[in-house]
Amino acid sequence: MSATLINDVKTEFINTFKTEPILVFSPGRINIIGEHTDYNDGFVFPAAVDKGIAAAIQKTDSDVSTAYALDMDSKIEFNLNTLKPSKEGSWENYVFGVVAEIQNKNKVIGNFNIVFKGDIPSGSGMSSSAALENSVVFGLNELFGLGLSKEDMIFISQKAEHNYVGVKCGIMDQYASMFGIKNNALLLDCRSIEAKPYEIDFKDHQLMLINTNVKHSLSDSAYNDRRSVCENISELLDIKALRDATEVDLQKIANKITPENYQKALFVIQENKRALKASKAIEDNNLETLGSLIYASHNGLQHQYKVSCDELDFLVGLAKTNKHVLGARMMGGGFGGCTINLIAKTEAKSFADFASDEYKNRFDKACSVYFIELSQGTHLVE
């Protein structure tokens, strides 16, 4: 967590609103493996990171509320009783959505002011949106004594994303951001919403992210499309979610769906198994196996689920040419953002330099490299 971020929002809050705020930090996340499985009631393997959103927040006697996105120098006043979604793509939908979903649970809040700022690069696939939603709901719960549990809060954040932002996301991002544990990744069962923490120490290997710095614009609608394909196939199979399907079940209805959709459902079934196998590989300290599962995940995301893009495929392709990278794949919803790489510590810098040069030559733009630490979830900063 960056102390500068916290200081920035605190100082700005005091200058603007002339009163002391409470301070909340809510992290972004990585995901080791288990992509597009969360909304299929499956398994994911995320971890909160040391980048996120810092928020300064306090009640006000004023008859309006104010939200201030410090990064964008954008401020908006709003009335708690007449909330509706702003135009698509506006940052305030994350704030409005959380407030509206709190109200939908018949919880009463008064006016408040919030100043927030983040250091998760937008579009990087590290869930700056979940971090923002969680910081708002966590701060409001604290200020107005709403008595919400952390589990209540992540579902409020998720609904805000569904109903105000328009992305029918699963629960992985909000869970990881809220419940993150320092130095641990969480094997989360997205049906029971129970997670098993795994202390991550890959000894002479580490995780490294490379951001393509692209986000292709169709990603939100493609995401919702994928989700509805999965739901339709579950209905055909007469099961609650693809988590309950086997490859054999899927074969039985192959003639009722398109080959493209067959591959998508097959990907989900296989990816779910990979997430479980990855947890076993981590328990056994078998990094070669973990790495090949990660490469296989990318292969499925690229060819079966079709949520990758040239930039991501290029970076994973480079990783495959280097024997010190045990695994690499796109991370998050897809169509841009980061790759996650499992790489030998001694080789990380030189591979990062090599990949950056090659990427620049190929796409005439820069990629960015991040070394992350696994961190604590959403919390108050004293």
Residues 136-175, interacting with ligand GLA (CB under 6 A): 169-170, 172-173
Q: Please report how close the Cβ of residue 63 comes to ligand GLA at its closest, in angstroms.
A: 35
CB atoms within 10 A of CB 60: 14
Question: Which residue, 291 or 334, has its beta carbon nearer to ligand GLA?
Answer: 334
Q: How far apart are CA 128 and CA 26, in angstroms?
A: 9
Question: Which residue, 127 or 378, has its beta carbon nearer to ligand GLA?
Answer: 127
Question: Which residue, 21 or 123, has its beta carbon nearer to ligand GLA?
Answer: 123
Site map (CB under 6 A) of ligand GLA, residues 103-142, x = contact: ------------------------x---------------
Query: Using an 8 Å Cβ cutoff, are 171 and 190 in contact?
Result: yes
Tell me which stretch binds ligand GLA (CB under 6 A): 35-43, 88-96, 258-266, 339-347: 35-43
The residue annotated as part of the active site, out of 173, 284, 310, 353, is: 173
Residues 205-244, interacting with ligand GLA (CB under 6 A): none
Q: Please report how close the Cβ of residue 297 comes to ligand GLA at its closest, in angstroms.
A: 10
Q: What is the DSSP letter of 244?
A: G
Residues 238-297, interacting with ligand GLA (CB under 6 A): none
Question: Which residue, 21 or 170, has its beta carbon nearer to ligand GLA?
Answer: 170
DSSP strand pairing (184-189 vs 74-78): unpaired
SS3 of 195, please?
Answer: strand
Q: Does 35 bind ligand GLA (CB under 6 A)?
A: yes
Query: CA angle 31-36-42, nearest 5°?
Result: 90
SS3 of 167, please?
Answer: coil
* Choice from 333, 339, 355, 367 touching ligand GLA (CB under 6 A): 333
Tell me which stretch binds ligand GLA (CB under 6 A): 32-40, 104-112, 198-206, 289-297: 32-40
Burial class (CB in 10 A: 0-12, 13-18, 19+), 34: buried
Q: Please report how close the Cβ of residue 213 comes to ligand GLA at its closest, in angstroms.
A: 17
Q: Please report how close the Cβ of residue 336 comes to ligand GLA at its closest, in angstroms.
A: 12
Instruction: Spell out the alpha helix ranges (H) of the chain.
Output: 3-17, 92-104, 128-143, 150-160, 172-179, 219-237, 247-252, 259-283, 287-303, 310-320, 345-363
* Choice from 10, 26, 36, 230 touching ligand GLA (CB under 6 A): 36
Q: Please report how close the Cβ of residue 262 comes to ligand GLA at its closest, in angstroms.
A: 20
Q: Which two tokens stand for residue 197?
A: 């923490």
210, β-bridge pairs:
339, 369
* Choice from 39, 179, 267, 335 touching ligand GLA (CB under 6 A): 39
Q: Please report how close the Cβ of residue 345 comes to ligand GLA at its closest, in angstroms.
A: 27
- Closest C-alpha among 85, 97, 102, 24 to residue 58: 24
Q: Which contacts qualify for 167-172: CB closer than 8 Å, 24 or more apart?
A: 167/220, 167/223, 167/224, 168/39, 168/223, 168/224, 168/227, 169/38, 169/39, 169/223, 169/333, 170/37, 170/38, 170/39, 170/40, 170/44, 171/38, 172/29, 172/31, 172/34, 172/38, 172/44, 172/46
- Closest C-alpha among 265, 241, 240 to residue 252: 265
Question: Which residue, 57 or 230, has its beta carbon nearer to ligand GLA?
Answer: 230
Residues 313-332, interacting with ligand GLA (CB under 6 A): 332
Q: Is 173 a catalytic residue?
A: yes
Question: Which residue, 174 or 375, has its beta carbon nearer to ligand GLA?
Answer: 174
Question: Which residue, 112 or 267, has its beta carbon nearer to ligand GLA?
Answer: 267
Query: Using an 8 Å Cβ cutoff, are 81 and 111 in contact?
Result: no
Q: How far apart are CA 99 and CA 352, in angstroms?
A: 41
Q: Please report how close the Cβ of residue 174 comes to ligand GLA at its closest, in angstroms.
A: 8
Question: Which residue, 123 or 332, has its beta carbon nearer to ligand GLA?
Answer: 332
Q: Please report how close the Cβ of residue 109 comes to ligand GLA at its closest, in angstroms.
A: 25
Residues classed as catalytic? 173
Interface residue list for ligand GLA (CB under 6 A): 35-36, 38-39, 127, 169-170, 172-173, 332-333
